[in-house]
Structure 1
C-alpha cells in the first residue's frame, strides 16, 4: 500500500469519526453506543443472510461478464 493511499484511508476514517461524533452532538458515550448498536444490527443481518444461504434461500447471483476474473 502506498503512503498516499494510507493517508487517504486515515483521512477517510478521521472524517467518519468526526461525522459520527457530530451526529451525537459531540457526546462520545452516545457515539460509541450508536456505533455498537449499528455493529450489532449488521452482525444480526449477516447471520440472517448466512442462515438463508445455508438453506439455499440466497438470492441468485448476477452472471459475470466475459473476461471477469474469478
Structure 2
C-alpha cells in the first residue's frame, strides 16, 4: 500500500472536521466515511476493467495480486 496523501498531523484536522460535519456525532461520522469508502471502492472496481494493462503499466494487476482491490 502506498503512503497516504495526507500527512499524519493533517489527519487530526480531517478527523475533527468529519465529526463536526456530523454535528459532533463520531459514530455517524464513521458510518458516513465507511459509506463513502465503499462507494469509492465500487467506482475503482468498475474503472479497472476499462483501463488497459499497458496504460496502467500493470498497476491494477499488481494491486489485485496484493489483495488491495476487489476481484
Aligned residue-pair number? 48
**Unmatched runs of 5 consecutive residues or more in structure 1:** 1-7, 59-70
- Give the corresponding residue for 1:25: 23
Q: Bigger relative contact order, structure 1 or 2, given CA contacts below 8 A and separation 6+?
A: 2
Cα separation, 2, equivalents of 1:44 and 1:51: 12
Aligned-residue CA RMSD (Å): 2.0
TM-score by length of 2: 0.60
Following TM superposition, by how much is the alpha carbon of 1:11 offset from its aligned partner in structure 2, in angstroms? 2.2
Larger Rg: 1
Map 1:1-70; keep pairs closer than 5 Å: 9-54=7-52
Query: Stretches of 4+ moved more than 3 A in 1?
Result: none
Structure 2 residue runs without a partner (length 5+): 1-5, 56-71
